[in-house]
C-alpha cells in the first residue's frame, strides 16, 4: 500500500460528518462546507454508496440550476443499538448513521439490584442482532450512574453498587460503550442542541442529584477512565453532610428534590424528581400569584436556586465555557426563582465576567438527550477510521 494511512477515509469522514451534523444535507452543500471540489465529492459519495454507507435521493428543487441530491443513511448501512437506563425505566432504540434513535422497546424496572435489568435488555438486543445481523455495529448505553473504564461503578440514587452490564451484548465481538446519562446528554446538546456551534459547552442536569459534562469542540472531557463530569460531587455544600457517594459536602445534595424536601422538613421523597416537579410547580404558581414571600415551598426553591446558581458560577469561573446548558429540573428551578438564581449566579462570578456573563440556556433536546448522545458516541466509534475499515472488510467477506 502506498497511501498516507490517515488519508484513506479523510474525505469520507468529512462527508459522513456533515450527514451526521445535518441529516439530509444536499451533496452540493456538504461539498461546499468542506471546501471540496466537485470531482472529489463525486468520488467520495460514489465510494460511500458502494460501501452501503450513504444513499442519495433526489432533492426537491428549490430554484434554478441542476437539481442536487440529498445524502441519507443507506438502508443497508451500519446501525447502532442504544440503551438508556434511568431511575425507574429503561428503553432501547436503534439508530442509523444520522444519529436519530428510534425507540424499539421500553420497560419500567423495580428497585432491585442492577443486574435484574440485564436479561430483558439482552433479549431485546439479541432480537436486534438477529434482525439486523452485521448491520448492527455497536451497543451504546446511557446509564444514570458513575461510569469508569466502561463499567458502572456507582449508582447511589438507584441504590445499585458496581454493576456488570457486559452481559447485555448478544455477541462478544459487538463493542459495548457505557456512558453516564448526563455526560451523553451534554454531548448531544453540544453537537446538536442548545450548545450547537459553541466551542466549549458546560452541560448540567439536575434529576436525582446533579450530573453534567464539559464538551470541548464536540468532544466530552471525561478524563482518564471516563468518569469525568461528576460535578455533583464537588464540595460546594455543607461539609458536615455525608453524601451517598461517600464524599462530603457534595453539591448533589443541595440542588434536587431531596434538598427541597430537607428544607421543607419533609422525609426524603420516594421519587425526588417527581417531588421536585410538584414543589417547583406550586412555587412558581405562588410566585405568579404574588404570594411567593413567606411561602415555605417558594423559600425552599429559592434556597436550592441559590445553591445551584452559585455552583454554576464557580464552574463558569473554572471552565470559561461559551454557554451553559441546563437540563432536568434545573431550568424549572431557575424559572421558579429567577431573581435569586440570577443574582446568585452573578454574585458567584469573578468580577470581570459580570459585564457579559456566560449565557445559561435550557436544553433543546428535552428528555431525548441521553439517548441521542449515546447514539452519537456509538457512531463516533462506528464511523471512525478503524470502524470503517472493519465495515469495509465485513462487506468484502
Partner DNA sequence: CGCTTTATCCTCGATGATCGAGCATAAAGA
Partner DNA sequence: TCTTTATGCTCGATCATCGAGGATAAAGCG
Q: Footprint of a copy of itself on this chain (CB under 8 A)?
A: 4-7, 10, 35, 146, 148, 153-154, 162, 198-200, 214, 216, 221-231, 233-236, 239, 245-249, 310-311, 313-315, 317-322, 347-352, 354, 358
- Residue with Cβ nearer DNA (4 or 290): 4
Question: Which uninterrupted H or E stretch holds 214?
Answer: strand 209-216
CB of 97 to a copy of itself, least distance (A): 23
- Residue with Cβ nearer a copy of itself (232 or 257): 232
- Residue with Cβ nearer a copy of itself (32 or 239): 239
CB of 341 to a copy of itself, least distance (A): 15
- Residue with Cβ nearer a copy of itself (79 or 360): 360
CB of 54 to DNA, least distance (A): 12
CA distance 221 to 209: 20
Q: State residue 76 phi and psi, 5-degree precision.
A: -115, 15
| Binding partner selected for residue 153 from DNA, a copy of itself, none, CB under the kind-specific 5 to 8 Å limit | a copy of itself
CB of 64 to DNA, least distance (A): 4
| Binding partner selected for residue 88 from a copy of itself, DNA, none, CB under the kind-specific 5 to 8 Å limit | none
Question: Under DSSP, is residue 317 helix (H, G, I), strand (E, B) or coil?
Answer: helix
CA distance 294 to 59: 60
The C-alpha torsion from 125 through 126 and 131 to 133, rounded to 10°, is 100
CB 80 within 8 A of CB 139: yes
| Binding partner selected for residue 230 from a copy of itself, DNA, none, CB under the kind-specific 5 to 8 Å limit | a copy of itself
**Paired strand residues for 70:** 26, 57
| Binding partner selected for residue 221 from a copy of itself, DNA, none, CB under the kind-specific 5 to 8 Å limit | a copy of itself
Sign of CA dihedral 255, 234, 323, 374: negative
CA distance 59 to 62: 9
| Binding partner selected for residue 12 from DNA, a copy of itself, none, CB under the kind-specific 5 to 8 Å limit | DNA
| Binding partner selected for residue 44 from DNA, a copy of itself, none, CB under the kind-specific 5 to 8 Å limit | DNA
Footprint of DNA (CB under 7 A): 1-5, 7-8, 10-12, 26-29, 31, 35-46, 61, 63-69
**Burial class of residue 59 (count of CB atoms within 10 Å of its CB; 0-12, 13-18, 19+):** middle
| Binding partner selected for residue 311 from DNA, a copy of itself, none, CB under the kind-specific 5 to 8 Å limit | a copy of itself
CA distance 160 to 152: 9
- Residue with Cβ nearer a copy of itself (236 or 275): 236
CB of 63 to DNA, least distance (A): 6
CA distance 302 to 300: 5
CB 3 within 8 A of CB 382: no
CB of 77 to a copy of itself, least distance (A): 26
CB of 231 to a copy of itself, least distance (A): 5
The contacts of residue 179 (CB under 8 Å, 6+ apart) are: 140, 141, 142, 143, 147, 222, 226, 373, 374, 377
CB of 14 to DNA, least distance (A): 7
| Binding partner selected for residue 352 from DNA, a copy of itself, none, CB under the kind-specific 5 to 8 Å limit | a copy of itself
**Paired strand residues for 214:** 202
Cα 317 versus chain centre, distance = 23
CA distance 348 to 352: 11
- Residue with Cβ nearer DNA (27 or 273): 27
Amino acid at each position: 500500500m502506498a497511501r498516507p494511512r490517515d488519508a484513506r477515509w479523510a474525505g469520507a469522514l468529512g462527508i459522513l460528518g456533515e450527514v451526521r451534523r445535518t441529516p439530509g444535507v444536499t451533496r452540493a452543500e456538504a461539498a461546499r462546507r468542506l471546501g471540496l471540489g466537485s470531482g472529489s465529492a463525486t468520488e467520495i459519495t460514489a465510494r460511500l454508496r458502494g460501501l452501503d454507507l450513504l444513499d442519495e435521493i433526489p432533492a426537491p428543487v428549490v430554484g434554478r440550476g441542476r437539481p442536487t441530491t440529498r445524502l441519507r443513511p443507506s438502508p443497508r448501512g451500519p446501525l447502532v443499538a442504544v440503551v438508556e437506563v434511568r431511575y425507574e425505566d429503561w428503553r432501547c432504540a436503534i439508530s442509523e448513521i444520522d444519529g436519530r434513535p428510534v425507540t424499539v422497546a421500553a420497560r419500567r424496572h423495580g428497585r432491585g439490584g442492577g443486574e435484574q435489568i440485564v436479561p430483558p435488555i439482552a433479549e431485546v438486543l439479541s432480537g436486534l442482532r438477529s434482525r439486523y445481523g452485521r448491520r448492527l455495529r455497536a451497543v451504546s448505553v446511557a446509564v444514570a450512574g458513575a461510569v469508569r473504564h466502561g463499567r458502572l461503578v456507582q449508582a447511589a440514587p438507584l441504590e445499585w453498587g458496581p454493576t456488570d452490564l457486559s452481559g447485555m451484548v448478544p455477541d462478544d465481538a459487538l463493542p459495548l460503550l457505557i456512558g453516564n446519562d448526563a455526560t451523553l446528554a451534554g454531548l448531544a446538546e453540544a453537537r446538536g442542541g442548545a450548545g450547537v456551534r459553541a466551542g466549549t459547552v458546560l452541560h448540567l442536569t439536575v434529576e436525582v442529584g446533579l450530573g453534567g459534562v464539559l464538551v470541548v469542540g464536540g468532544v466530552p472531557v471525561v478524563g482518564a477512565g471516563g468518569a469525568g463530569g461528576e460535578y455533583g460531587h464537588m464540595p460546594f455544600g455543607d461539609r458536615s453532610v455525608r453524601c451517598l457517594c461517600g464524599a462530603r459536602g457534595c453539591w448533589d445534595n443541595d440542588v434536587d428534590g431531596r434538598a427541597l424536601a430537607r428544607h421543607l422538613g419533609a422525609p426524603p421523597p420516594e421519587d425526588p424528581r417527581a417531588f421536585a416537579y410538584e414543589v417547583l410547580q406550586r412555587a412558581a404558581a405562588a410566585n405568579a400569584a404574588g404570594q411567593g414571600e413567606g411561602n415555605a415551598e417558594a423559600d425552599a426553591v429559592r434556597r436550592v436556586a441559590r445553591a445551584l446558581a452559585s455552583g454554576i458560577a464557580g464552574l463558569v469561573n473554572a471552565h470559561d465555557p461559551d454557554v451553559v446548558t441546563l437540563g432536568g429540573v434545573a431550568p424549572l428551578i431557575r424559572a421558579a426563582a429567577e431573581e435569586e438564581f440570577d443574582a446568585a449566579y452573578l454574585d458567584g462570578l469573578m468580577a470581570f465576567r459580570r459585564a457579559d456573563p456566560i449565557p445559561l440556556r435550557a436544553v433543546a433536546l428535552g428528555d431525548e438527550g441521553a439517548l441521542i448522545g449515546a447514539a452519537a458516541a456509538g457512531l463516533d466509534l462506528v464511523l471512525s477510521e478503524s470502524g470503517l475499515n472493519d465495515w469495509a472488510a465485513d462487506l468484502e467477506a
